[in-house]
Amino acid sequence: MPATAQVVVSTNFEDAQTDGWIPRGTGTTLSASTNQANTGSYSLLTTGRTQSFGGPSIDLSSSLTRGQLYIFTIYVRMAEGEANDSIKMTMQSTINGSNTFNTVSGPATVTNGAWVKMVGAFTPASNATSLLLYIEGASATSSYYVDDFTVAASNGGCSNPPDNSGFLSDFENGTTQGWAGRGTAQVANTTADAHSGAHSLFVTNRTASWNGPTLDITGKMCNGSQYAVIFWVKMAPGQPQTTIRVSLQLTLAGNQTFKTLVANGPVTSSSWVRFKVKPYTFSGAYDNLQIYVESAETAAPFASSTSTTRACSSCRHQSSKTSRQSRRPMPLTSWLVLQPCNRIFWDLMVSLPLCTTTA
């Protein structure tokens, strides 16, 4: 489901002007150029940078509504002869006279051989008096082109009004109810154990911390809305105590970001463990949203190929296991419920704020 969006700022440099972009940092020089263009004939060339935070910037103070979610898109390409650089789109917000900086998109590796599309979401703070967006490079002196910058107001990927039906997975119909395996993980409906009823979801063949059951909940969690999340987990017989958490994966125009939804907690094979999160206020925009159960690991879990084959640390003490088994350490069963805040488990959160839906 694509996010519905309304473009509020757009610059493509086709008038041979810099379209309101201003140089940031010592030495930075901006010019409309016909050397390269993502679309049309012109782009904006940045040269003369002497600081990594230097680059092209645009003052959006009067263009953006505070508290509104926006999606920022820009295309970037290194100038001819430039080495690859790591480029970021950053927002400088001035709040109570102090500047705060948020990465809107990136860092992304950019080359001089192709345009790279960068996309990110950002919501200006309600008390931000100034908003300056800029494009910076890890190299203090690199030169690069930008083109086709847009800012679009978005509801984040949800329908309007948002879908507040939540979801319930109890596996009592004998299926996986849409849950799939993430990474090498395999999921199957089972009657071997259950928290309630007769069925649960059995997860096997995990080989990395981030492997586990995953469900597409696109449209089910919306920017600015609150949710309650309850789920039950139990390790399969013979499995060691393991630390489990629930995470979200947001994909926006091919860029992935991750959030921890339910914090780490210990799970054993002896009893079902209930996890719950206080009202969780979802923020962000996506084309696709996945919720998944994973185990805690100390290494960065998502990026490297080595992490997919690394044994989970909690099983390294299982000297009696074979190496093959040690890479399949944590089958688990789970039962998971997610409902918007106005539907369920109010006994756990009666003193907490009501939903704040901005979509």
Contact positions vs Ca ion (CB under 5 A): 12-13, 37, 39-40, 42, 147
Whole-number minimum distance, CB 154 to Ca ion, in Å? 23
CA distance 70 to 358: 12
Token readout for 116 is 């790279």
**Which residue number, 42 or 134, has a Cβ lying nearer to Ca ion?**
42
Whole-number minimum distance, CB 249 to Ca ion, in Å? 32
CA-CA-CA-CA torsion sign (187, 191, 192, 193): positive
User: Checking DSSP bridges between strand 167-169 and strand 255-267, what pairing results, if any?
Assistant: unpaired
Residue type for 258, please? F
Whole-number minimum distance, CB 285 to Ca ion, in Å? 24
**Which residue number, 147 or 294, has a Cβ lying nearer to Ca ion?**
147
Whole-number minimum distance, CB 29 to Ca ion, in Å? 19
**Which residue number, 17 or 309, has a Cβ lying nearer to Ca ion?**
17
**Which residue number, 39 or 191, has a Cβ lying nearer to Ca ion?**
39
**Which residue number, 74 or 248, has a Cβ lying nearer to Ca ion?**
74
**Which residue number, 33 or 176, has a Cβ lying nearer to Ca ion?**
33
Q: Are the C-beta atoms of residues 357 and 222 closer than 8 Å to each other?
A: yes
User: Checking DSSP bridges between strand 43-47 and strand 29-33, what pairing results, if any?
Assistant: antiparallel
CA distance 215 to 290: 5
Cα-based angle 171, 188, 315 (whole degrees, multiple of 5): 115
CA distance 348 to 346: 5
Q: Which whole-number Å values give the CA distances from 64 to 5, 59, 219, 306, 312, in the listed order?
A: 14, 10, 24, 42, 45
Rg over alpha carbons for the chain, rounded to the nearest Å, is 24
Q: Are the C-beta atoms of residues 220 and 163 closer than 8 Å to each other?
A: yes
Whole-number minimum distance, CB 9 to Ca ion, in Å? 15
Whole-number minimum distance, CB 43 to Ca ion, in Å? 5
Whole-number minimum distance, CB 10 to Ca ion, in Å? 11
**Which residue number, 42 or 231, has a Cβ lying nearer to Ca ion?**
42
Whole-number minimum distance, CB 41 to Ca ion, in Å? 7
Is the bond leading into 124 cis (omega within 30 degrees of zero)?
Answer: no
Whole-number minimum distance, CB 75 to Ca ion, in Å? 9
Number of residues written out for the chain = 359
CA distance 179 to 78: 41
**Which residue number, 82 or 147, has a Cβ lying nearer to Ca ion?**
147
Q: Minimal CB distance to Ca ion: which residue?
A: 40
**Which residue number, 115 or 134, has a Cβ lying nearer to Ca ion?**
115
Phi/psi for 206 (5° steps) reads -75, 140
Is the bond leading into 107 cis (omega within 30 degrees of zero)?
Answer: yes
